[in-house]
């Protein structure tokens, strides 16, 4: 069986400055994976390069053994919140309905079933009462929930989420991580850019440590160590020594 995601020798540069260098890895099915690294490490760029939203200089990406063009219906993406135009005049239901478009054939309009799925997904993320609210008039946490509902409505098998917990309250964070764990239990593969090192052990089976180069990828218990974190964050990481988990003073 093909891996959900396989990346080989990926290099990406903006204006000739390399921001990802020779990245190679494979991701097995059914894992919830945290992408960890300092600001500017190339975490968002990695996802964008995989989804062909930015060009790469070299590299091969295979999704379920095939090109993204052929597999895009099986892939869900929740972008970083600040990269979305929240003034765009559309309501919560419309945003979630967009997640259904991959299921529609040529010339088919979304039907009752698509709408029912969209409404159910909004319900699942606790947004059932805001379906006709303009997205510009939702709080940060509510906007994030709507985007999560869109990803759920898409019913993908491989998900990329870029910092889904930024700007959300504790209750929303709990709701989101519960949903991600549910997706995992359904055999889906979920990659999540995450910056709060204090919750890494609790949330993720696997982590990818990234800082322009790939520092490591694998089970959290093997990679979430002082040595690996130091290699990833370098001087910007201050740790108070302890026998248990490292305490992060200034990861960003």
Tokens coding 200: 């890494």
Q: Which residues are within 8 A (CB) of 179 and not within 5 positions of it... i.e. 6 or more apart?
A: 124, 125, 148, 152
Residue in 120, 119, 39 with CA at minimum distance from that of residue 80: 39
Where in 35-74 is the site for ligand ADP (CB under 6 A)?
37, 39-45
Tokens coding 105: 């054939």
CB under 5 to 8 A by kind: which of Mg ion, ligand ADP, none does 19 bind? Answer: ligand ADP
CB under 5 to 8 A by kind: which of ligand ADP, Mg ion, none does 99 bind? Answer: none
| Angle at the Cα of 181 from the Cα atoms of 77 and 101, rounded to 5 degrees | 30
Binding test (CB under 6 A) with ligand ADP, winner from 10, 19, 180, 183: 19
Q: 66 or 82: whose CB is closer to ligand ADP? A: 82
Window contacting Mg ion (CB under 5 A); options: 39-47, 140-148, 152-160, 213-221 = 39-47
Tokens coding 43: 């975490």
Q: 14 or 88: whose CB is closer to ligand ADP? A: 14
Q: 43 or 145: whose CB is closer to ligand ADP? A: 43
Binding test (CB under 5 A) with Mg ion, winner from 44, 56, 154, 211: 44
According to the binding rule CB under 6 A, does residue 161 interact with ligand ADP? no
Residues within the interface to ligand ADP (CB under 6 A): 14, 19, 37, 39-45
């Amino acid at each position: 069986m093909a891996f959900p995601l396989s990346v080989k020798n990926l290099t990406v540069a903006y204006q000739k400055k390399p921001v990802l260098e020779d990245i190679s890895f494979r991701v097995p099915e059914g894992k919830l994976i945290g992408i960890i690294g300092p600001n500017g490490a190339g975490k968002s760029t990695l996802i964008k390069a995989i989804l062909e939203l930015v060009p790469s200089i070299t590299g091969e990406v295979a999704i379920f053994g095939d090109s993204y063009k052929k597999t895009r219906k099986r892939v869900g993406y929740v972008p970083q919140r600040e990269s979305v135009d929240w003034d765009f005049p559309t309501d919560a239901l419309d945003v979630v309905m967009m997640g259904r478009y991959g299921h529609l054939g040529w010339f088919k309009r979304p039907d009752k079933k698509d709408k029912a799925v969209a409404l159910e997904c909004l319900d699942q993320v606790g947004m059932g009462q805001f379906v006709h609210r303009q997205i510009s008039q939702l709080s940060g946490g509510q906007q994030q929930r709507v985007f999560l509902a869109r990803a759920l409505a898409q019913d993908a098998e491989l998900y990329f989420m870029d910092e889904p917990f930024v700007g959300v309250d504790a209750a929303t964070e709990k709701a989101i991580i519960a949903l991600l764990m549910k997706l995992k239990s359904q055999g889906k593969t979920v990659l999540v850019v995450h910056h709060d090192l204090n919750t890494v052990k609790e949330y993720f089976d696997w982590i990818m440590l990234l800082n322009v180069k790939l520092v490591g990828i694998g089970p959290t218990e093997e990679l979430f160590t002082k040595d690996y974190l130091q290699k990833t964050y370098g001087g910007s990481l201050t740790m108070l020594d302890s026998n248990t988990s490292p305490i992060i003073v200034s990861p960003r």
